[in-house]
A and B are shown apart, each in its own frame.
Chain A
């Protein structure tokens, strides 16, 4: 009897110990994230000013800013969104709603799972060989945007599929019973009901794209750009211009990388300031994504 009591006590003791170990393990990552943000803020906050956002990079750290970098990031992201969203959502819809169970579908599925695990820099090499040299897009905003679109495509596809999978079959059957075709069902029921999940996936994918550095370095983004791409809106007819697609560019993470790799303390402060802006954008986008998921989950009840 004593023996069993002793055993129970020991089991309970270790159970309690693990409770604490598990909790502390969970805290490690969160604490590191906090320290990182505080460190970044202490180093970079003094440099954050209106001038920092409105100046071009410069040889003098106090005068250098991120104007060309944030404009570049924004334009690259436009191209990425324009290419990855329609392609990814369409592919997701096909795989969930249309695909038959055969070897073609199997290959597509294995392939998407593998693409999601391909290192981002390999996409950069693909883009260097394909977009820059074979298709002759050059080292431009278009190339960078398409590269990032390839990178986030698997994320968009998987998010779309997951969102669609959550819709019960009875919804589809109800639609068919009323005489709707497959596309009508998809267009008026599947897409609207899965919108929340799809949007969440898209925003998280874009937030990944905005912070990606390696593939953009490979396609040859310049680190020192003291001019802006051609404006997308013009004063003459037809008021919209696509000249900017073919302009050289830089983006936020590349600008930050450039400043980190310099030995001078003053440039590293600039790097920290750029890091704050970059973190701010990432956190904002992720926050929006979490909010949308929460909102839609509350709204739709099957």
Chain B
């Protein structure tokens, strides 16, 4: 009987400690919100929210600082849009090709190699964008400056292909065979089946994949920090240098900014803007993925 009791206690202790480990992940999110919130609160005591959102210049390190987040947000949206123009169509094509056309053996080989695109350290991509792609693009676009939004945008796009393609492909694979067979029985080709039957059926999965891609592109740091320049530029011209939210944080962190100053707090204000933007996309993505599982 005593053995039985001690066994029960032991089981209870183990379950509780495992639960605490799982709960720690919630603690991480809470700490992120508290740390970002606390430091940005200090920032917004000095700078009004109105100035932050409407001022068109971001020069916090100047003698007469201006704190308008807009140039950083447009910089982020510009590089993200370029990346998406590359990643979404290519990612979707790859997913359709791998799930509907490619022979089994080929898929088994190509998938892990494609995943490598997401595994390459981003600082290496930054090197490649700055010292390989930009000079190549300059041959076709003489107006392109040495630092620009275009080249890191394209590289980021290639980098997030596997994020887009693998989740899309999984959801296409999850479309039940009898639906596809119904389409083939009507005499449809693979192409017609893919675009008129499989893609609509797998829509929420594909949307989730796109959203993961968007969230990645918004948060990507090193490629833009290296190759896009460090100029907060309120412009949507991809040939000019821009600065993104992430690159600004890197720029300030590289310098010696004393703890507690307003310059120090600006990176948290930029950080909370970034966190909010990705949070919205992450939650939509989570909800969409949850929906796919429930459909069939």
Is A22 among interface residues, defined by CB-CB distance under 8 A? yes
Q: Mark A124-139, 1 if CB is under 8 A from B, else 0.
A: 1110111001000000
CA distance A108 to B23 in the complex (A): 7
CA distance A28 to B86 in the complex (A): 11
Distance (whole angstroms) from the CB of A13 to the closest CB of chain B? 10
User: Given A29-B158, A129-B38, is A119 in contact with B128 using a C-beta cutoff of 8 Å?
Assistant: no
CB-defined contacts of A213 to chain B, threshold 8 Å: 121-123, 221-222
Is A290 among interface residues, defined by CB-CB distance under 8 A? yes
Is B152 among interface residues, defined by CB-CB distance under 8 A? no
B219-A122 in contact (CB<8A): yes
Interface of A is mostly: helix
CB-defined contacts of B174 to chain A, threshold 8 Å: none
Q: Which residues 233-287 of B have a CB within 8 angstroms of A?
A: 246, 249-250, 253-254, 259, 267-268, 271, 274-275, 278-279, 281-283, 285-286
CB-defined contacts of B215 to chain A, threshold 8 Å: 117, 119
Interface of B is mostly: helix
Distance (whole angstroms) from the CB of B197 to the closest CB of chain A? 14
CB-defined contacts of A286 to chain B, threshold 8 Å: 112, 115-116, 119
Q: Mark B88-122, 1 if CB is under 8 A from A, else 0.
A: 01100110111001100000001011111101111
Is A217 among interface residues, defined by CB-CB distance under 8 A? yes
CA distance A123 to B274 in the complex (A): 12
A36-B114 in contact (CB<8A): no
Distance (whole angstroms) from the CB of A187 to the closest CB of chain B? 9
CB-defined contacts of A35 to chain B, threshold 8 Å: 132
Q: List 25 interface pairs A-B (beta carbons < 8 Å), by A numbering.
A: A18-B190, A26-B94, A29-B94, A36-B120, A36-B128, A94-B15, A111-B29, A114-B279, A117-B216, A119-B220, A120-B221, A121-B250, A124-B253, A125-B267, A182-B11, A183-B14, A204-B119, A218-B249, A257-B222, A260-B123, A272-B127, A275-B121, A278-B121, A279-B124, A286-B115
Residues of A within 8 A of B (CB): 8, 11-12, 14-15, 18-19, 21-23, 25-26, 28-30, 32-33, 35-36, 39-40, 43, 86-87, 90-91, 93-95, 98-99, 107-108, 110-115, 117-126, 128-130, 133, 150, 153-154, 157, 181-183, 204, 207-208, 210-214, 217-218, 220, 223, 253, 256-257, 260-261, 268, 271-272, 275, 278-279, 282-283, 286, 290
